[in-house]
Structure 1
Amino acid sequence: MNRRDLLVLAAGLAVAAWLVVRAGYGSLPTLRWWLPVPLGVLALAEVLGARTLRARLAAQRDRRPPAERSSAPVRPVEPMLVARLAVLAQASAYVGAAFVGIWVGVLLYVGPAVSRLQTAGSDTVTGVVGVACSAALVAAALWLESICRIPPGPDDETPQADPVA
């Protein structure tokens, strides 16, 4: 996944969200601090899944005898599970980047307005929680995606650069 695409998505949605919030802030419903928390819960689930998958893949790659492993036996990893987790990671990274942009756009409007608007203080807290949870989702998704990559084998050649003519 190209991280530049995630940055462009976040930046574009930050500008769009700022314009929307600027145009209709008074008519928006109150932003509660817990609104972005599901993104944080998803990030936590992906971190836990990534840790488990990394441990299972490491144990499978090591091919150690069962007596040397930890007390719990490690089940083999299904290739389709890894493929599904890779797709989940890519989708989560895009969703997280989109929400980072949206919450940054909200913060760009409500942050400077804290002194003059009564509800801007609580909306700023919601925006900070939103950026934190969304950024955590992006980080967890990128980590999960990196774990799902197939490492190069000992027989794989490193690509040689073509000579310049």
Structure 2
Amino acid sequence: MNSQNRRWLLIGSLLVVGGALLTLVFTSFTGALVYFYTPSEIKAKGNELQGRKVRIGGMVQEGSLLREPGSQKMRFMVVDNSERLPVQYEGMTPDLFREGQGVIVEGVWRSGETFQAATILAKHSEDYVPVKMSEEGIAKARESMLKSLR
């Protein structure tokens, strides 16, 4: 085998191995992705998502949080602008989790049933202002931030 044939064989082998590696990487990422849906989207795509691991995001409806005494079990409603979805969860909750706050729950969707959450992630505002900061301090901080953007 001459040197030119070896070179083409090496290039072809590298392309095959590289393609196989890329395929493995992309298929492993696809299996690990968990998509975020609102209660309205869940109601619209119910059968499509059957048995899949999903994340549902919305607000914890005021007055819907019911904790079972003596256990870590709880039920609540996740709402968006038009739909609400019953959720059941057992376990520790994040400190920011409460009624009227944003929440993301993760679990396996079973159409027509209460959503069984395996994980709860509390959402919070992106705006951080220390509790003791005065109005004057807030104005100075805002002005300083705007100067840095110019």
User: Into which bin does the TM-score normalised by the smaller protein fall?
Assistant: under 0.3
**Which structure has the higher relative contact order (CA within 8 Å, separation 6+)?**
1
TM-score by length of 1: 0.22
More strand by proportion, 1 or 2?
Answer: 2
Query: Whose Rg is larger?
Result: 2
More helix by proportion, 1 or 2?
Answer: 1
